[in-house]
Each structure stands twice: as structure tokens, then as C-alpha cells.
Amino acid sequence: MPPQFDVVGVGLNATDTLIVVSHFPAFAGKARFEDEVLMPGGQVASALAACARLGLRTKYIGAVGDDQRGRVQMESLAEAGIDATDVKLRPNCATQSAYIVVDASTGERTVFWRRDDGLRIDPREIAPEHIACGRLLHIDGHDTPAVAHAAAIARHRGIPVTVDVDTIYPGFDRVLPNVDYLVASAEFPAAWTGWRDPFQALETLRKEYRMKVAAMTLGAHGALALENGRFCYSPAYVVNAIDTTGAGDVFHGAFCYAVLEGMPLPRALDFSNAMAALNCMSKGARGGIRGLEEIRALMARGERRAHPEFAAHAAAGN
């Protein structure tokens, strides 16, 4: 029997309060805010929303509280067509929340977040059939024992695993051996390996854990990846950024799609950069998720912003 889903995701969701200011105030200062919006977000949940927008069959495994923010999150998953059968409802618990202050002059954001310990996913809540029903598993690093368990199931079943990780979590060394595609934040490779040089850090990660691709997102400068001993650098697309919230999450959703479509790595990175850039043109973690037609249009005609050192180093190394 073929898998029921294209992508199964295990990890975070959140419901954000977005606060837009004309400019971020100086320390201890004041600023009038222009807008306040309650919107769903969260690393894995938002990545799956991007996957669903691209036509993939998606399933989310996580936890929400029995509060308004939880209801907002569940309604959003349903509207996106994401299967939430195995989302756990925690009674007397607050859904993960974030207050995100967006500087309208740049689109950059500052995040203040909180997650109740009651939202933690126990590995025993994830059965093999929850993972085996998908063609690909996407995880983050937060509930490390749970995602390690899910990744081990996927590896045993021959299911590729992609991971979004932005900081060091205790016990994450038990996750990495079962990861096929690491797409980390710009800070993670150096923090994990001790190498400040991003090229050396990615080489170290890939060599130690034998993953297919070791990559890092670079925000406004695009993405850098290593596959089969060759570096690939993809410059970012230049857009009128309204809000950068969720750009990385959408990048990961696009990358999951690219993996399942069998895209060569350079095109996969370009595709993911384009979808992430488009998301920055609207407010909220999922406010600007676009479909294939708009992504391809930006890839065909969009202006790029390359980081000279990354571009030169990647070209020289190949």
C-alpha cells in the first residue's frame, strides 16, 4: 500500500501575536504600534502549511493547549488541509505563544516566546505507523527525545528525514545520525562543531553524521549547502520585505517539496529561497505562502542578492 501522506511533521507549532511598529525603539524607549494581529506559526506546523500549499499531502504531530490560541492553530491546520489526527490536546495548558515585534522600516522581527512544559511530546506518543504513513519526515529539535524516536523509525523504514534546527538542544546527538537533510540556521553549524568557518563547519557535520546534505540558511544572503563533497551557494531573492517571520519555516517546507520532486540541489535551494522570499511580502509566519506559479515567476525574473565571500568560496571550492 502506498504511503497515505507525502510529508509527516513532528515538532513545534505556535500562535503568534504580531505587533507592527514603524521602527524598533532604542533600549528602554517607547514606540507607537501600527497593527496587532493574532496569527498561527511554529517551525514544523508552518513548514507543513507551505508543503500543503504546494499540493503535498501532509500530517502534523504536535501538541496544543485547550485555549483560544490552540483553537486558532487547529483551525489553521484544518484550513490548510493538514491532517491533525495525532495532534495532542493538553487540558489546562497554554498553547505555545510568541509576541513578535516587526520593524516596518526593514521587515525584520524580534521574537519573545513561551512554551508550557505540558506541551512536551513523549516518545511513547509516537507509534511506528504514525511515521511510516509518510514519504518524508520533517522535524525540528525542540522535543529531542520525541524527534529522535521519530527519526529512528523513519531511518528503519527507509524514509528520508529533513531537520530544521536553530540552536543546540541536549541530546540532539541522538537525532543527527538519522538525518538525511540538515538545513540549520546560520548559527548552528559553528555552535555545534566549534568551527567559525561555515564551510568547515558543514564539512564536519556531514562527515561525522554521513548525511546526504548539510546546509544552512543565511537570511538575506540566501543558503549554503554541501552535497557529495561539493558546495552549492544560492543567493537570496530581493523583494519588498514586510515581515521576515516564518521565512525559514517556509524555506524548509519548500525544501521538503524539492526533495520529494527530486530537484537537483542548486534548483532546490533556489526554489526554497524564492518561496521564503515571497512569504516575507506579507505579515505573519504563514501570511505570504505562495504557490508554484508565483515561485517559478520569481525564480525566472527575480533580482538576487549574493554574498560575495560565500559565492566566491563556493565557486572556488568546486
Pairing of strands 5-10, 58-61: parallel
pLDDT in tens, 2-26: 899 999 999 999 999 999 999 888 8
Alpha helices in the chain (DSSP H): 43-53, 68-80, 128-132, 144-157, 188-193, 198-209, 247-261, 265-279, 292-301, 308-317
Mean pLDDT score of the chain: 95
Predicted pLDDT of residue 106? 87
Domain boundaries, the chain: 5-13+41-95+123-317
Name the residue type at position 161: V
pLDDT digits (tens, 9 = 90+) for 192-239: 999 999 999 999 999 999 999 999 999 999 999 999 999 999 999 999
Residue with grid cell 516575507, as numbered in its chain: 280
Question: Residue 88 and residue 214: Cα distance in Å, rounded?
Answer: 31
pLDDT average, residue stretch 241-269: 96
The tens digit of pLDDT for each residue in 266-316 reads: 999 999 999 999 999 998 889 899 999 999 999 999 999 888 888 888 887
Measured distance CA(242)–CA(272) in Å, rounded: 18
Q: What is the pLDDT of residue 317?
A: 62
Q: What CATH code is assigned to 5-13+41-95+123-317?
A: 3.40.1190.20
Res. 318: pLDDT tops 60: no
Quick: pLDDT tens for 38-90.
999 999 999 999 999 999 999 999 999 999 999 999 999 999 999 999 999 99
Considering the entire predicted model, what is its pTM? 0.95
Instruction: Supply the pLDDT for residue 107.
Output: 84
